[in-house]
Each structure stands twice: as structure tokens, then as C-alpha cells.
Amino acid sequence: MSKKAKSNIEVTLIYLFLAFMAVVIGYPLLWTVGMSLNPGTSLYSAQLIPENWSLVHYKWLFTDPSSDYLTWYKNSVMVAIANAFFSVVITSFVAYAFSRYKFTGRKYGLYAFLLLQMFPALMAMVAIYLLLNMIGLLDSLVGLTLIYIGGQIPFNAWLVKGYFDTIPKELDEAARIDGAGHLGVFFKIMLPLAKPILGVVALFNFMAPFVDFLLPRIILRNPDNFTLALGLFNFISNQFDNNFTRFAAGSILIAVPIALVYLFSQRYLISGLTAGGTKG
């Protein structure tokens, strides 16, 4: 067999494998879309390509008086914005101190962050529940946001600290000669130069309330306070095959915007993670 023919076979095989992967990836996603367009609510009678497709579930989510979908959307957006903002502020404070200053406990603090970021929040759930109960923030979005902000510190402080370390110290010194103080260096040098990683942190924390269902499930009780993930989960957790099509419709409406954001920013996200996480 000539070298060229061999190469052609190889390329064909690669394309075939990639096509197979595309089917494996696409099938569940398209199946979900198909389900959401089925007029009935049961999984059993639903078809992949419904004969008489309709947008009835989408309409139900937005217009039916018994649907809390818009409230959940609003709750999630509020938690997301607060979480993204305060996480960036607090994390960049911590990261700046750890990146640029020598102080007692610095080294052990770093060790502690690295260790704590590995511990899943679930490990501390009972105590978090009791604590929120004690200060009266159980079943409230403020309590949920507080837990999110506190919980993200170890991972993100580490990430941002790694990025700050790559900003040359000569820049700080130059700014100090020009009369900038501690805060001046932080606001005029560090924050502007660290925009990419701060963007990553903001994005991750913005997304968290949309995709996390565990914490809301433990903290929130009243359907008026639900976030999207929890609300959607409840569509199907009670009567599995009764509301699946409705769940599919509601899921698509959050999956599509989130997927678009991820696809557009994936290079940014991945390079942020590798830069902050490993190079430092």
C-alpha cells in the first residue's frame, strides 16, 4: 500500500471516530430538545421527533400562574450577581496580601487554602445548616449567597494569587516611587492587570448558582426562594415520568445561555486555570 493511501485511510478513520463522538455527544442533547417539544408530560409516550410538536411547556413555564419559573430565574440571577461581585472583591483582597506581603501565618495560610479547596462543601453541611438556623438565615437567599462567597475563597484566592505572582514586582515599585500607597498599587496596578483572571473568577461564581442544586436543596425550603437548579430538580424528583418534558423545556432555557457563555469564553477559562493553577 502506498504511503498516500495509508494516510487517506487514517484520515478517514479519524473522521469516522470524530463523527461517532459527535453522535454520542449530540444524541442526549437533541433528545432533550425533542422531549421538550412533546405536547404530553409523560416520558413513556414521548417521541424523539414528536409528530405534533408544540411549545406548550415553554409557554407553561412563563405564563401559568402555578409556575414559579420566572421567580426562580430572578432568584438565581440575584444570587449570581451578588456572588460574582463579592467573591471578586474578597478574593482579590486576600490574594493581593498573599502575593505581595510578608506576614505571620502567610505560608500556613497558603497550605490551608490548598487543603481546604479539596474539601467538598458537603462535608460541612450539617454545621452550615445549624449555623444558618442560629442566625436566622435558613431558607433565605442571603444565607445561600454568604455560603457561596465563603466557600469559594480557598480555591479562587489560590488562583488569583498565582496570577498576581506573574505580575512583575518592578511595576509595584515604580508605582510606589510615583507615590502610590498599598491601596494605590492594588487599584492602579494589580486590578487592571489581573482583569483576565478576575473575569474567570467572576464567571465561575456567576455560574455557580445556576448549576448547583445541592446547597440550595439543603438551605432553601420555600418554593418562592428556590433557585433554578433546585426548582427544575423538583419537577422530576417527585413524580419522575410526569414532568420530564417540562423539566426538559426549563433546562434548555438555562443550558443554552450557559453553554454559549462557556463556548465563547472557553479559551479564556482554560488558560486562566492553567496559568493560575500550575505556573504561578
Q: Closer to other proteins at the Cβ: 90 or 193?
A: 90
Residue 117 CB neighbour total at 10 angstroms = 17
User: Around 3, how many Cα atoms within 13 Å sit in the side-chain half-sphere?
Assistant: 0
Q: Closer to other proteins at the Cβ: 65 or 201?
A: 201
Instruction: Give the shortest CB-264-to-other proteins separation in angstroms.
Output: 10
Buried b (16+ CB within 10 A) or exposed e, 184-208: ebbeebbeebbeebbebbbbbbbbb
Instruction: Give the shortest CB-186-to-other proteins separation in angstroms.
Output: 8
Q: Closer to other proteins at the Cβ: 65 or 104?
A: 104
Non-local (6+) Cβ contacts of 245 within 8 A are: 35, 36, 38, 40, 41, 42, 43, 46, 57
Instruction: Give the shortest CB-65-to-other proteins separation in angstroms.
Output: 25
Instruction: Give the shortest CB-9-to-other proteins separation in angstroms.
Output: 12
Q: Closer to other proteins at the Cβ: 31 or 62?
A: 31
Q: Closer to other proteins at the Cβ: 2 or 103?
A: 103
Query: Which helix (H) or strand (E) element contains residue 188?
Result: none
Instruction: Give the shortest CB-202-to-other proteins separation in angstroms.
Output: 16
Reading phi first (left if > 0) and then psi (alpha if -120 to 50, else beta), residue 139 is in left
